[in-house]
């Protein structure tokens, strides 16, 4: 893949890493906190998201509770050749630091993806902090 783009969205949340991970690590529960997702259902290792008139299928690539890392790939429903996202929750003195990394082809989709993920992290922060 010649034109893979990479970006990272990040936010600090006043909530324990365990509490934030309980939300982020629930592969089938993203519709509880991510704006725009009308529904989420899990079918095997895939989650199928309904949002904005689209149906998007994401495959679970890996989940590591010890490092609080969830890795997934969009496999259908979005015009990308390759997509891999990784959300990581790290404990801090004040609560949690959450990063959402994305690798995507074509590279010109980076801005769209990181903008969406930054909005999602802001919604996660509001959900946790109230």
| CATH number for 80 | 3.30.530.20
Number of domains in the chain: 1
Residues near 97 by Cβ (< 8 Å), separated by ≥ 6? 10, 11, 12, 13, 89, 90, 91
Mean pLDDT of all residues belonging to the chain: 95
pLDDT at 2: 60
Question: Span 17-25, mean pLDDT?
Answer: 97
R_g of the chain computed on alpha carbons: 14
State how far the Cα of 90 lies from the Cα of 67, in Å rounded to an integer: 8
CA geometry: angle at 63 spanning 57 and 66, to 5°?
160
- Domain holding 99, by residue range, is 5-129
Instruction: Tell me what the mean pLDDT of segment 28-43 comes to.
Output: 95
3 band by pLDDT with thresholds 50, 70 and 90:
confident
- pTM of the predicted model, to two decimals? 0.94
């Amino acid at each position: 893949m010649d034109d893979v783009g990479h970006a990272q969205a990040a936010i600090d949340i006043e909530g324990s890493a365990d509490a934030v991970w309980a939300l982020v690590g629930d592969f089938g529960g993203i519709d509880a906190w991510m704006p725009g997702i009308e529904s989420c259902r899990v079918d095997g290792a895939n989650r199928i998201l309904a949002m904005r008139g689209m149906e998007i299928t994401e495959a679970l690539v890996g989940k590591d509770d010890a490092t609080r890392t969830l890795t997934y790939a969009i496999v259908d429903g979005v015009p990308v050749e390759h997509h891999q996202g990784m959300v990581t929750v790290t404990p801090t003195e004040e609560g949690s630091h959450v990063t959402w990394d994305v690798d995507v082809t074509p590279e010109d989709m980076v801005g769209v993806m990181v903008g969406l993920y930054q909005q999602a992290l802001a919604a996660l922060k509001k959900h946790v902090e109230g």
